[in-house]
Amino acid sequence: MITPMVKYQFLVYYRETEALLALLKSSGVLHVKRMKRQEDEAALGLRREWLSLRAVQQHFERVLPERELEDTAVLDAFRFEDLPALLQELDDLDRDLRRLEEDRYHYRFFGNYDADKLAELRAHGLYLHLFSVGLGKILPAWSMAYALEPLFETGRKSFFVVVSDAAEPPPLKAQPEPFPARSLTELDQEIQSMEDRRRIILQTLFVLQGGIRAHLTKGLARLQDSLQDGTARAQMLQLGSGKVLALQGFLPQDQQERLDTALAASDVFYVKSQPVPADAPPILLRNPATARLFEPIARLFDLPRYAELDLTPFFTPFFLLFFGLCLGDAGYGLLVLVVLLALKRKIPAEYRPLWKLALLLESGAVVMGALSGTFFGINLLEVSLPWLQPMQQFMFNSDQLFNLALGLGAIQILFGLILRAWNQKKQYGMVYALSPLGWIALLAGLGGGAGLGFTPPILVLCGLGAGLVVFFSDPAAGLLGRLGKGLWDLYGITGYFGDLLSYIRLFALGLAGSILGFVVNDIALSILGTHFILGPIFFVVMLLIGHGLNIFIASLGAFVHPMRLTFVEFYKNAGFQGGGEPYQPLQELVDSSPANPTHSTEPGAA
């Protein structure tokens, strides 16, 4: 659900702007309304500086991903300005070392030859030409015609050298090759020098990592603090001669007392009121524990407007069912569930909600996979085990799963239309809810007629629904306008049938995963009897690789396709508009205590 907001409007003398901002930041609850969409040059400069420092921080975390020292090392002998250059030098060293290691692999066959001696030979008119051909393809005629000496073989090529008094290589049907620019000893020395330099840089960063992290965090916090201050000032409107400024903001209703207490001790003039939809208050979602886990999925699309319904708790049970149907295998869900539980202690606190979401989804996959009768590609309906037979009566065959997918689709489409009617009534009045109610009646009548026959009550229901759609699609228009708009909307009934057919993917994805699991088992069993030693080994390897890939593909599809059904079919039928701005209050971001730095986040306009 969307948290109710309260609107605050402030009038302040221009010299008291900083005092007002300090007061608002200390309370930490007011979201400043964005009145101007374009940032000034100063704000853009701060944002660029923040992004640059953030890139340095991310680069540093890639170099030292885990903090192994708890103490904060001082940076007395280290210039922070050198950090980007050191990190870039590390990247350059890693790149050059990879290139030199490749050169060393190719140069190892030449041994410690001296390149200067080749130059001396050329000075005396004697040239060495290096060639390569396929293994065993050095022709005897070449040795008869030229001073040829085979050198070595690399596994794919044979190398040989031709000694000549001509600077140009002889016309052989072989590939000319360059001689190494330096000896293997020189190459090893250069590699060792680079590795020593890389080790020194890493040791320096390792010892000072606590201080560097604190410095980066404080720097980001200061920049973000300056950015939100500048953004808040930019949203102040000048009144009269410009000496009086107006500021507008919003905060949750349950946070009023906190700001009112701070304002009571000041001389700031303010007015608070209930916002209207035109004010476009920010969005703060507060849902029950289970639905809260699905909020990251909802945010992938968009936040609702303030006057809209938050659809997160309404699509939560459907998403859970859809994920289980698409994964379609109780064994896969159980395996991933066990792995997630085993990793419980290693999950960082910031990722714990996503971990809980994954647990919930995989639990749904176990239940729906059991109902579909599939366990690691084994069709449980065909297994003759005494203890399993009582449960087989609750399992669905493929026809029943197909009907289940369509049934869930029809329920979600009608449920979305119910939410649209509710939302339209909430925002505009009952007359605007009549068109969605008409669609519900029409679609329910057509569905009932297809299953039970078009009896007179069902025909009346269809006619009533069509009439509501035709005459109330646009209540603000005149009679002819309503009729034209209604007939056009009625033509869109084909879209609802297309939406319904989209839910077949729930059945198809689950069936595809089950078939692939069965194929993996069949191939593994065919391998098992091929050899008394290697057969069991490759049997296990095939099961691990095959089912591992199938789990990955099935899990990816089980997440993406329910999300597609949610954002396209369900959101559309529920009349979702979106466009809400996230609630981001002004806050104290810089801690004056040097020993306890404040962690910064992505800068957003307050």
pLDDT per residue over 223-257, tens digit each?
A: 877 777 777 777 777 787 778 888 888 999 888 88
What domains, with CATH codes, occur in the chain? 1-35+245-284 (3.30.70.240), 114-179 (no CATH), 289-377+396-573 (no CATH)
Inform me whether the pLDDT recorded for 59 exceeds 60.
yes
Inform me whether the pLDDT recorded for 64 exceeds 90.
no
283: its two tokens: 């969005």
pLDDT per residue over 256-301, tens digit each?
A: 888 888 888 888 888 888 988 888 888 999 989 899 999 999 998 8
User: Rounded to whole angstroms, how far apart are CA atoms 421 and 434?
Assistant: 7
First CA to last CA distance, the chain:
22
Inform me whether the pLDDT recorded for 18 exceeds 90.
no
With 0-12 / 13-18 / 19 or more C-beta atoms within 10 angstroms meaning exposed / middle / buried, residue 376 is: buried
pLDDT higher at 593 or 270:
270
Inform me whether the pLDDT recorded for 393 exceeds 60.
yes
The pTM for the full model equals 0.73
pLDDT per residue over 423-440, tens digit each?
A: 888 888 888 888 889 888
User: Rounded to an integer, what is the distance from CA 408 to the centroid of its chain?
Assistant: 27
Per the CB < 8 A criterion, the answer to whether 320 and 559 are in contact is no
pLDDT per residue over 444-457, tens digit each?
A: 888 888 778 888 88
Per the DSSP assignment, residues forming a β-bridge with 131 are 160, 176
Q: What is the DSSP string of 509-550?
A: HHHHHHHHHHHHHHHHHHHHTS-TTHHHHHHHHHHHHHHHHH
Tokens 């020098």 correspond to what residue? 193
Mean pLDDT of the chain: 84
In angstroms, the Cα distances linking 525 to 278, 331, 356, 467 are 66, 18, 36, 62
Three-state DSSP at 249 gives strand
In this structure, the strands spanning 5-13 and 244-252 are: antiparallel
Residue 70 confidence class, pLDDT cut points 50, 70, 90:
very low
Residues 6 or more apart from 146 whose CB is under 8 A from it?
162, 163, 164, 170, 172
Looking at residue 594, its pLDDT comes to 40
Inform me whether the pLDDT recorded for 346 exceeds 60.
yes
